[in-house]
Structure 1
C-alpha cells in the first residue's frame, strides 16, 4: 500500500515523496543481475540493475503500449548520468537511433543504443512524472510516479541519487508539431518491441514502468515492461 507523504524539504532532490513495493523488491541486494535472465518491472513500479562495461541490456515492451522511463548512472559516481540536454547536442538529433552514443552530463559516452525493433519513436524532452505533475493534473493524495520509482529502485540496492535527471522515455510518443507545440499520444510500438543499450562504462540502469493513467501516453492503462542483461556468450543483436 502506498504511504501518502507531503514533499519534504531537503538539500537535494533525492528524497522520495511516497512509497510503493519498488523499495522491497530489488532484483538482488546490490542490483547485480543473472546474465540472460529476464526480469519484470511491474506496472507502476521501478527496478535498478548493474550493467558492466561492454554488457548490453535489452529493455522490452511486451504489450507494446507501455512507456519505460530509463536512466543510466555511472556506477562509481552517481553524479554522472545520461543527460539528454548533452546527448541531443552530441548527436544532433532529438531521438537517438541505433549506433548513436548516449552521453553524460560530463559529455562523454556512457552507453550506445545498438538496436531498436520499434519504429524508433521515443521521447527525450519530458521530465519524469512526479507528485507535483499529478497534483497539477488534479490528483489528490499520493500517486505512483516515475521520479519516486527512480529514488526507490536505487534505495532498494543501497544507492541514492541527488537529483532526478531527464529520462530516456522509451516508446513515449510526444510529436513536436510545426508550430512547436506538442501532443501526448499513445505509443506506436508493437508488442514485443525492444531496445538494446550497450554500456560503455560500469553503469546502474534504472527503469520505471510509467504509472501515468490520466493522459494517454500508456493508452490509459499502465502495464509491465521487461529487461535482460544479455549473456555475451549467447546473445546477438540480429
Structure 2
C-alpha cells in the first residue's frame, strides 16, 4: 500500500512538506520554464540538510545526474535523484535570490526565494542558523567555455518533472523562483507541484 499527496507551490512563494523515508518526491513544472529552489532538511536533526557544496565534492560533479545522491554537510546521502523527464538542466551553484539582489536592480520589496524559504520553514516549526544554498531545479545556467555563467530561460516545458527518493525522514522545501525581471522564468512566474508518494504502513 502507498499513499500520495500533492502540494501546489504558488508563484513567488514557498512550501515545506514532510516526507517519510523511502518516499518518492516529484516536482512538476506545471506551465513550463519555471525554476524551483529546492532544499531537503533532516526531520530528526534539522541541523543537517542537503549541502550543494558537499554534494559537488562527493559526486565530483557541478550539476546533478540521475542515479546519484545529494549529501548533507558530513557527506551522508539525504536524497537521491531517480528520474528526470526535463532537459536535465539543474543548478547547484547559485544561492537563492534575495532582497539585495532585487534592490541592486532598482526593485524594492520584491518577493524572493530567501524570504520565502524562511517563511516556509517557520510555518513548519523550524529555525535554521543559515539559509542553505538550494538546488535550483530546471535552472538553465551552465558555464560557458570561459567559465562565465549566463542564466537563460529554463528549458523545462509544461509537465516536465524531476523525481527524488527520500533517504531519510525529511522536510522537503520548494520555492517557485521569484525572478520576473530576467529571462530565468521566461519573464513570468508560475506554479510548481510537489507530488509525494509514500510507502504504506
> Shorter chain as normaliser: what TM range?
over 0.9
For residues 162 and 35 of structure 1, do their structure 2 counterparts lie closer, same or farther at Cα, with a shift above 3 Å needed?
Answer: farther
Alpha-carbon distance between aligned partners in 1 of 2:68 and 2:76, rounded to the nearest angstrom: 12
Equivalent in 158, 167, 175 of residue 208 of structure 1? 175
- Name 2:196's counterpart in structure 1: 229
3-state SS of 1:153 partner: helix
- Tell me whether 1:143 sits opposite 2:143 in the alignment: no
1:45-89 deviations in Å (ceiling 9; x for gaps)? 000001111111111101121000000011122221101111011
- In the TM superposition, what is the alpha-carbon distance from 1:98 to its structure 2 partner? 1.1
TM-score (norm 2): 0.95
Greater mean alpha carbon deviation, residues 42-51 or residues 156-165: 156-165
Structure with larger Rg: 1
3-state SS of 1:211 partner: coil
Q: Which has the higher contact order (CA 8 A, sep 6+)?
A: 2
**Count of residue pairs brought into register by the alignment:** 199
- In the TM superposition, what is the alpha-carbon distance from 1:170 to its structure 2 partner? 0.2
Asked if the contact 1:35/1:228 (under 8 Å) is kept, the reply is no
Alpha-carbon distance between aligned partners in 2 of 1:81 and 1:112, rounded to the nearest angstrom: 13
More strand by share: 2
After the TM superposition, which parts of structure 1 deviate over 4 Å for at least 4 consecutive aligned residues? none
Equivalent in 64, 88, 96 of residue 128 of structure 1? 96
What is the correspondence of 1:18-97 to structure 2 with a 5 Å cutoff?
Answer: 35-97=3-65
- Name 1:100's counterpart in structure 2: 68
- In the TM superposition, what is the alpha-carbon distance from 1:175 to its structure 2 partner? 1.9
Asked if the contact 1:48/1:204 (under 8 Å) is kept, the reply is yes
- Tell me whether 1:110 sits opposite 2:75 in the alignment: no
TM-score (norm 1): 0.81
Asked if the contact 1:46/1:153 (under 8 Å) is kept, the reply is yes
1:110-156 deviations in Å (ceiling 9; x for gaps)? 0100111111111110000011111122213x111101111101111
